[in-house]
Structure 1
Amino acid sequence: MIRNLLLSGGPGHDFVRTSAALAKILASADEPTSSLGEQRPEQVATNRIVTEIVTDPEQFFELVRSSSQGKIEPWDLITVNALRWQMRQDRYAKERSEWAYTIQENDLQLLAAFVAEGGGLLAVHTAVICFDAHPLWHQMLGASWNFATSSHPPEGEFEVTVTAEGLAHPLTTAASNFFITDELYGFLDQVPDLTPLLSARYLGREQPLLWTQSLGQGRVVTDLLGHSVDSLTNATHESILVRAAHWAARSSERMHGDSVGSS
């Protein structure tokens, strides 16, 4: 069993439904056998992703901390499908009392240590807006929202391109270009040399939509898609999400008892 802790919640999105859908998607499918070879029946249960959804950031970080201290069973994967930041922009004044959140430095250090020690991190859609583009979060995810320059058009249908690098990566090698209805995030602040596996065109530029990062022994997948349940259950996107979660969590290594991060 792969244990996944999911942080959910925030304004402007139906996180109750999208987080439930995401947990169901990850629970209903095992890592594709193309990356594992033939699976024995006893391996199937071992390789399931079981998700605990938490909406309170304080509770979320306490669960991460308890795991790191050995008080509870360790998490293999952390997923952020949430929108929590200080909300200093004037247009969020009415929602600020309910949703504003200030990340603590030691909590971000805790997340970074989790990944560096071999944990997986899956950052979905609004995760790049979370935590006010804190430099450590920005570095972990590879990009972050800039309220001065980042934007997206109204939710609608667009074509997603599998890049040349994507065709060679296990997350997207089985995918072809596909159409999806979603919010197309563009013009984020990016780390140098970010290598997108998926992209889409917006305002005359190819915008990265999916990429991977490494931190120590851990793996991070950032997926800018996922505004709605329809996006998450798009057949191609759903398949990529399953691969992304298992890849980040190093499911095959954990299942076979290998040392995580050894290869």
Structure 2
Amino acid sequence: MRNLILTGGIGHPFADATPALEGVLAEAGVVSTVTDDIEGGLQALGQGGFDLLTVYALRWRMLGSEKYAPHRERWAFSPSQDGRERLSRFVTGGGGLLGLHTALICFDDWPEWKDLLGGAWVWGRSAHPPRGSVTLVPTAQRHPLTAGLSPFALTDEAYGDFDLAADVEPLATVAPEGGKAWPALWAREVGRGRAVADTLGHDRAALEHPQHRQILTRAALWACRRPF
């Protein structure tokens, strides 16, 4: 299986975590190409040869707060119309999509991104507590992604108060200690393709947590319609 990982952005150790993600997916037979050139990556995606697209990036327009001003030139991003069409065609045409953690925040001026992934960050409403101990609780034992999994705790960054597509049925929830539980994992059919969203994965340790890496490898295989 060939995978394209789109990565890069601020506030997260992508340079360290993305190679870890690449290694975890390799356990499932996934060979990844990694780039932080999102537009160039989408162009390559449209040329064919990929089974899976993984978005593990924090790339949005960076409007509003001036705290983003020093980063806008390097990291602010809005996908071109061509890039949007390539990504949409890939997924709806039968490709797999895996959106991790910050993928919810990406492409904030493209409503169809929520339709593809199944969820999106809402500026001014969505939030997360400081990174710390969180517990992931499977809620759908019959789905292949969560079958046989028990609740587990890890150190990570939980996301909440984001928008979900109307057809999303969460497979797991995540909650900080003493906090409200929010959807953390879902999987859905999108046209002829499949999409999985996983809101965990701030850093290498979170990606390499034993139970989480099991979810990640299952997600890649399920999205690509491969047995496991």
TM-score, normalised to structure 1, is 0.82
Aligned AA for 1:181?
T
Q: Does the 8 Å contact 1:115/1:218 carry over to 2?
A: yes
Query: How big is the shift at 1:110?
Result: 1.4
Structure 2 counterpart of 1:108, from 84, 90, 112: 84
Gaps of 5+ in 2: none
User: In terms of mean alpha carbon deviation, does 216-225 or 82-91 score higher?
Assistant: 82-91
Residue in 2 aligned with 1:65?
46
How many matched pairs?
226
Residue in 1 aligned with 2:58?
83
Helix, strand or coil for the counterpart of 2:33?
Answer: strand
Q: Does the 8 Å contact 2:59/2:105 carry over to 1?
A: yes
Gaps of 5+ in 1: 31-47, 68-73, 254-263
Aligned AA for 1:245?
A
Residue in 2 aligned with 1:225?
200
Helix, strand or coil for the counterpart of 1:251?
Answer: coil
Residue in 2 aligned with 1:170?
144
Residue in 1 aligned with 2:181?
206
The answer to which structure has the higher helix fraction is 1
Give % identity: 41
Give CA deviations for 1:84-123 in whole Å, capped at 9, x if unaligned: 1110122211111111111123312211111111110000
TM-score, normalised to structure 2, is 0.95
Helix, strand or coil for the counterpart of 1:132?
Answer: coil
State the distance in 2 between where 1:247 and 1:63 align.
Answer: 23
Aligned AA for 1:113?
R
Structure 1 counterpart of 2:33, from 41, 52, 66: 52
Helix, strand or coil for the counterpart of 1:102?
Answer: coil
Q: Does the 8 Å contact 2:2/2:50 carry over to 1?
A: yes
Residue in 1 aligned with 2:107?
131
State the distance in 1 between where 2:173 and 2:84 align.
Answer: 28
State the distance in 2 between where 1:113 and 1:58 align.
Answer: 15
Q: Does the 8 Å contact 1:133/1:144 carry over to 2?
A: no
Q: Does the 8 Å contact 2:98/2:195 carry over to 1?
A: yes
Q: Does 1:117 align with 2:98?
A: no
Q: Does 1:189 align with 2:163?
A: yes
Q: Does 1:234 align with 2:215?
A: no
Residue in 1 aligned with 2:129?
153
State the distance in 2 between where 1:172 and 1:187 align.
Answer: 23
Query: How big is the shift at 1:133?
Result: 5.2
Displaced runs of 4 or more, over 6 A? none
**What do you get for the CA RMSD once the two structures are aligned?**
1.5
Q: Does the 8 Å contact 1:140/1:213 carry over to 2?
A: no
Query: How big is the shift at 1:204?
Result: 5.3
Residue in 2 aligned with 1:12?
11
Give CA deviations for 1:234-253 in whole Å, capped at 9, x if unaligned: 11000010000011011249
State the distance in 2 between where 1:5 and 1:145 align.
Answer: 23
State the distance in 2 between where 1:204 and 1:184 align.
Answer: 10
